[in-house]
Every structure is written in C-alpha cells, then in structure tokens.
Amino acid sequence: MLTHINESGRAKMVDVGEKGETLRIATARGRITMLPETFERIMNGGVKKGDVLAVAQVAGIMGAKRTSDLVPMCHPIFLTGVDMTFTPDEAHSVIEIEAVAKTIGRTGVEMEALSAVTTAALTIYDMVKAMDRTMVIEDIRLVQKSGGKSGDFVLAEE
C-alpha cells in the first residue's frame, strides 16, 4: 500500500503524529567522475572559485536542511547532525561523497542524506563546469538507515 496516496488516489503527506520519537540515522553515498586535469585542480586548490570541497561540504549540509522545501511529501524535520565526507580516488578521477544525517524524531532522514550527497555533487559540478562539462554524477543511493518502525537497512553491496 502506498502511504503517500489518500482514498481518492491523490497525494498526501503521511501523518506521523502517532509515531514515537526515536534516534534515526541515514547514510547515503554517490560520486562525481571528471577529467584527470579537473580532479588535480580540485585537489591542489587550483580552482578560481575557491576550495571546491569546502564549499561542497557546506552545500551538502544546507541541502539536507532544505530537503522538505524540495521534495513535496517530506516532513520538515529537526536535524541533530549532518556530516559530509569526501574520498578522492586519483586513479579514476572520482570523488566519492558520503553524507550521514541524524535526528531524534518521528520520521526518517533518508531523504536528507540523499539530498546532501546530491547537493554536494551539484556544487562540485557547478564550481568546475567551466573547465570540464564531461563530469558525471552517479550512483547516488541510500546505503544504511536505522531507527523507526521499519527497522534497520543496509544495502547489500556495501
């Protein structure tokens, strides 16, 4: 049964008022692939717009905080923490992006973690698009979540 559909078949926001508050944590990952020259400039501080990963870090956190403004059926939630990690892979000119979002609440933070990764990747793209329009943002996925009625989830590939 779809929880975001009412009896008339129209979209609705799920009522979480009866749910108990629990600690909820979600981890999402994704990556951005680029030309080796672009990767080198990001890693060595050679981008005129500034420190790409520092800006992407802040953008990812802001993206998590604004999720309910972007995804219509998401509840505005109080995030207790968002942490971003960037793992450069020089051999493949890839930056792996991870976001961990946390709350104590009645609904999960999966969408917030996914929004954080997506926003960080888009920020990297935006900051270096003048030198590389071949970048690919890919493999954005939920890899783990805990808390709530549905229990824990860990993506099998991880």
Catalytically active residues are: 126
How many Å apart are CA 42 and CA 40, to the nearest integer? 5
DSSP run (H or E) holding 100:
strand 94-105
- Check if the beta carbon of residue 25 is closer than 8 Å to that of residue 86: no
Q: What letter does residue 91 receive in the DSSP assignment?
A: G
Task: Measure CA 44 to chain center.
Answer: 25
Q: Taking the CB of residue 41, how many other CB atoms lie within 10 A of it?
A: 18
User: Residue 122 corresponds to which tokens in the numbers above?
Assistant: 């888009």
Separation CA 70–CA 67 (nearest Å): 5
